[in-house]
Structure 1
């Protein structure tokens, strides 16, 4: 420990090192439940690339594990500390280095908060689409690490589609530049995509070149009540089959709607079994909402209410963004799943989740990026009750198994981290797992980068 601190201090300012155990303990974990977290030896908050390189050179020399972190809003334990590790918090590297309206790119450091970037590029008439529910807190580095998504993915895609290039500090302190800042480029293997979603296990992202889009018109939102999740999913399938391009299609089940009302006094209709939100940012969003409204009615919607203006639309989106927080308030603990299935199997996923909730006598609310088939079943339980905690874990596993049975994946945007390591092995299979472990060894032969995550 003394040698580690002495070496770190040789290349870092004193304010970049945190050693007080009460302080470092607060950096030990992200927002996931049921994920083990160790006790870090030290927390480092670098502000320059060279400081990150110094940390990694020191870690390699002493064979000390390094756990990179952003805002710790993750839900899979990917940012959880290991015993004796250097926790490398990148939140002080928060500069927007460049915004180019001509090239339609932004160059940023990893600690830039998603919402800060979105507002900054908006001042130039540009748009950065990936918008996780935690966008007011989460960082771009964390978004890249977990390949995060958001509400607008159904039209605009996920984080991976906007990362053009990266500067990455490797395990031994070398600096690697990947990708490009051009609109096109196919030179060599796509290492940029390899780092996106790698959860800090291959290198430390210290700079990112992000693609931007022109700012679209303000979107209008439609809310539709349904008597069942199946009828809401039928409407989703009809919207996509008819070729509509909504900017979002979101679903909240009855449990979620009631939780949002309790937390935020939103006044959402508690009689509904499923509330569907659809939005358009087209030149004539009212016409598009009218067409989608007809499809919702044909699928069995009991009420269809299009927002009249941006303020009403934002109120509905606020309710959706509040969903996970509201469900977390239902009981003392939650397990937030992240299973993505083909849109055609969305109804089976929701009905199956409801059956699992009944089987285990648990409250499980579901909010979903329905246009993508990406569901977020949230298991609510009393963590002080051993029996209920056991049933929560078992139900969580059954939900993931159901997703795989339906042709889906164990995570659409939250990542694997600690929480889903066993399930990643099941999804990849032995050959896929062997190859991915080989990639890890190539980039991190000593195994010091975020050990215990993914595999």
Structure 2
């Protein structure tokens, strides 16, 4: 594979099958596409950026890339946090943001057919006109694209009840590295014919092919949710509450947690008035037709677990106000310095152990770490805060980040629940998979991409 193609020759080959506006070769403009939001992940210098608006244009790009042995890095809105959409030297950055049409919404079959550049929030709005919803709701839902969601296997705040992206992708159209078009899956409610190639592409981060169309399952829009907020003086108590709520059979539509560092950062940003003795704050939402009895039961479980204050919302407006604190968590922490956002998921029963372990890691590495979590499924987001201009602080932050991933594996968890692997966690993925798992991953990669041109260096490193 050539990582340093002749720029003029590559541009000429690409231009032969693309409209002028689809091709960017100016080095400064191309460099602006080189990074996703994982700012500390290294990025190479792209040879060109292509912004296609048809499947045929994507096929042309892949045929050129195969013929010239040029790497291709697919991109969406570049809101990813693991370096999966970052450039490698000499690559074609294939930005799919202009393929942004919602092709169909079928209220009978409850499916949507969309192109990869459709913004998550735009699909939700369009589905809402039919009384339907696309449940996966990443924090960046107002800007992230469906193609990127599929590439990383994205989750969101409501996945505790409604599940993650993989559970809603019924079928895909994928342009393979040689330009062929593969159709996978179905649009029926049921279907088990053949290998589940659709699931294989979900979470593959563009390393096997380019998703150009997706058939997605929709659900009826649920009633407005009401929220209960519980404040705890210890992580042990909030861990007991999460376990008790789950063990009692409750299925909240949202169960979010913030640790003391995060709560104080939110207080400083928005004057939320949360008590300084709050070591953990738990928000639980219920969206059944009559949520109040269940909310009352959940509130009682929180009190029994040790919450020193429990407040229940009276209506949707109050609930939205309570959720503001959770939505402010990341911007509040980012005000404190540069950030590295971890994405470790552990069994719900080990959530308190994870929180306590992160606190010890922060102390050991003299680093500020705030944790917010999708407590309902054990997916924690420790956010390591540091001064990027300080070399020693940056090294301590990196060591803390790695220690958090090691802790997650030690507790029986996984290194990523929804952000993907990219380059940031590639070595840690190998540790989680083990040698047999790595070998199988490489074999799958080789079957789809024998030349190794699809998003090279991401997810699983090449052998040797």
For Structure 1 versus Structure 2, the TM-score category normalised by the shorter chain is over 0.9
SS in structure 2 at match of 1:250:
strand
Counting only pairs closer than 5 Å after superposition, residues 23-422 of structure 1 correspond to structure 2 as 23-331=29-337, 333-422=338-427
Query: Which of 434, 446, 449 is equivalent to 2:451?
Result: 446
Match of 2:3 in 1: none
Return the offset for 1:317. 2.3
Q: CA deviation at 1:267?
A: 4.1
Tell which deviates more after alignment, 34-43 or 16-25.
16-25
Task: Point out the more displaced range, 98-107 or 253-262.
Answer: 253-262
Residues of 1 paired with 2:206 and 2:222: CA distance?
33
For 2:79 and 2:331, the matched residues in 1 are separated by 12
Structure 2: distance between partners of 1:385 and 1:304: 41
What SS does structure 2 have at the residue aligned with 1:453?
Answer: coil
Counterpart-to-counterpart distance in 1, 2:344 and 2:371: 11
CA separation of 1:264/1:59 partners in 2, compared to 1, >3 Å: closer, same or farther? farther
Deviations 1:357-410 (A, max 9, x none): 011111000000000000000000011111111111111111100000000000
TM-score, normalization: structure 1?
Answer: 0.98
Measured in 2, the distance between the counterparts of 1:319 and 1:69 equals: 31
Q: Structure 1: how far apart are the matches of 2:123 and 2:322?
A: 23
The residue that corresponds to 1:2 in the other structure is 8
Aligned length: 454
Deviation at 1:262, TM superposition (A): 3.1
Distance of 2:67 and 2:275 partners within structure 1? 60
Q: CA deviation at 1:127?
A: 1.2
How far the C-alpha of 1:321 sits from its partner, in A, is: 2.4
Cα RMSD of the aligned pairs, angstroms, is 1.0
1:265: Cα distance to partner? 4.2
Q: Structure 1 residue 20: deviation in Å? A: 2.0
CA distance in 2, matches of 1:131, 1:384: 34
Unpaired segments ≥5 residues, structure 1: none
Instruction: Tell me the alpha carbon deviations over residues 97-135 of structure 1, each in whole angstroms, 9 at most, x when there is no partner.
Output: 000000000000001111111111011000111000111
Between stretches 36-45 and 251-260, larger displacement belongs to 251-260
Q: Whole-Å Cα distance in 2 between the matches of residues 139 and 349 of structure 1?
A: 31
- Do 2:11 and 2:25's aligned partners in 1 also have CA atoms closer than 8 Å? no
Alpha-carbon distance in 2 for matches of 1:224, 1:163:
35
User: Structure 1 residues 371, 57: closer, same or farther in 2, change over 3 A?
Assistant: same
Task: Give me the whole-angstrom Cα distance separating, in 2, the residues matched to 1:67 and 1:267.
Answer: 45
Other structure's SS at 1:249 match? strand
The Cα of 1:307 is off from its aligned counterpart by 1.2
| Rounded Cα–Cα distance in structure 1 between residues aligned with 2:13 and 2:433 | 40
CA–CA separation in structure 1 for the residues paired with 2:79 and 2:458: 16
Q: Show the counterpart of 1:434.
A: 439
Change in Cα spacing, 1:401 to 1:9, as seen in structure 2 (3 Å) is: same
3-state secondary structure, aligned to 2:300: helix
Distance 1:288 1:281 in 2: 10
Structure 1 433/61 Cα, relative in aligned 2: closer, same or farther at 3 Å? same
